[in-house]
Amino acid sequence: MMMYISVCFFSGIWVFCSNRKHLLATLLSLEFIVLVLYTVLCNYLSMFNYELFFVMIFLTFSVCEGALGLSILISMIRSYGNDFFNVYSMLQC
């Protein structure tokens, strides 16, 4: 089980690092990494019979992070017309 979780985690990191064209794909890979971390945390805490209160706090913060990313995506699409990174003059390296 741990091998599948590590493969999922590293595939999410690989997509985050390799896909630099679209902001939406970057945000989706970040959400995938958060979901894998949520699964790991849930399994770890339930294995030792701890309370799952911290899981609810983690889930709350991940939902807030997702809402913040979507609001940034919507504001950039409304300002520039698309979600390509090369269009944004402030984000070019």
pTM value is: 0.81
Evaluate if residue 89 carries a pLDDT over 70: no
pLDDT at position 79 is: 81
Domains annotated on the chain, with CATH: 2-87 (1.10.287.3510)
| pLDDT at residue number 76 | 82
Predicted pLDDT of residue 60: 93
Model pLDDT, residue 2? 76
Q: What are 9's two structure tokens?
A: 């985690």
The whole-number pLDDT of residue 37 equals 92
Q: What is the pLDDT of residue 88?
A: 65
List, in order, residues 6 or more apart from 65 with CB less than 8 Å away.
Answer: 30, 34
The rounded Cα 44 to chain-centroid distance in angstroms is 20
Tens digit of each residue's pLDDT (9 = 90 or more) over 19-72: 778 888 888 999 999 999 999 999 999 888 888 888 999 999 999 999 999 998
